[in-house]
């Protein structure tokens, strides 16, 4: 990206970020969809606190994934409750925030978001071949590319009544962030 193009993107980010109402953003999607990278960029642009949801996994979950075994619902429950706890603390403090959580099933989103006011679900959507390519070109602390198929098998895309902000992640991170900020601003937060 040229310096002029980077400057233009930064200006667009700043302009649209000024129109985004403070809220807690929950970035969801399969592994490799860009949750952490997009969240870090949102943190940079918005200045809101950011929590990497993977850091809230119990050590037993991390070891299970590291060994190539997918988590089941019982494994995920303490993690989802920890994500919900972080969100609740942000809301109680009247602070915006950004947290990542795969949130692959509606039942998981009921735990992490439920009927909480001041929380927006952001679905980073990508086709499996695109995500597979990303997974093969990155190193993750414990999530091997072999588990991606199980994530797509588990994925229940958010329904309209969950009011998600859905962003296709086939472009650059900068394009994804600008699209996401624009949708947030247009939807009132």
- Can you give the three-state secondary structure of 114-180, one letter per residue? CCCCCEEEEEEECCHHHHHHHHHCCCCCCCCHHHHHHHHHHCCCCCHHHCCEEEECCCCHHHHHHHH
Mind listing the pLDDT tens digit for each residue in 127-158?
877 787 766 665 555 555 566 677 888 899 99
What count of other Cβ atoms lies within 10 Å of the Cβ of residue 157? 13
Q: Higher pLDDT residue, 71 or 35?
A: 35
Structure tokens at 149: 């198929």
Mind listing the pLDDT tens digit for each residue in 27-45?
999 988 889 999 999 999 9
Mean pLDDT of the chain: 88
Task: Report the pLDDT value the prediction gives residue 141, as an integer from 0 to 100.
Answer: 53
Mind listing the pLDDT tens digit for each residue in 73-110?
999 999 999 999 999 999 999 999 999 999 999 999 99
Query: By three-state DSSP, how is residue 65 classified?
Result: helix
Mind listing the pLDDT tens digit for each residue in 101-114?
999 999 999 999 99
Structure tokens at 175: 């394009």
How far is 101 from 18, CA to CA, in rounded Å?
Answer: 25
The strand order across the sheet containing 50-51 reads: 50-51, 97-100, 24-28, 119-125, 165-168
């Amino acid at each position: 990206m040229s310096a002029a193009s980077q400057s233009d993107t930064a200006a667009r980010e700043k302009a649209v970020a000024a129109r985004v109402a403070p809220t807690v953003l929950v970035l969801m999607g399969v592994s490799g969809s860009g949750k952490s990278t997009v969240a870090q960029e949102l943190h940079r642009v918005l200045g809101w606190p950011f929590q990497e949801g993977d850091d809230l996994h119990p050590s037993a979950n991390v070891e299970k994934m590291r060994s190539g075994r997918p988590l089941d619902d019982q494994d995920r429950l303490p993690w989802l409750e920890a994500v919900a706890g972080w969100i609740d603390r942000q809301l109680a403090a009247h602070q915006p925030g950004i947290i990542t959580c795969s949130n692959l099933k509606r039942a998981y989103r009921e735990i992490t978001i439920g009927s909480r006011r001041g929380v927006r679900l952001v679905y980073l959507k990508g086709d499996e071949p695109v995500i597979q390519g990303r997974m093969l070109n990155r190193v993750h602390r414990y999530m091997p590319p072999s588990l991606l198929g199980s994530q797509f098998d588990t994925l229940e895309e958010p329904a309209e009544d969950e009011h998600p902000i859905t962003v296709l992640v086939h472009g650059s991170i900068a394009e994804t962030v600008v699209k996401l900020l624009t949708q947030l601003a247009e939807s009132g937060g």
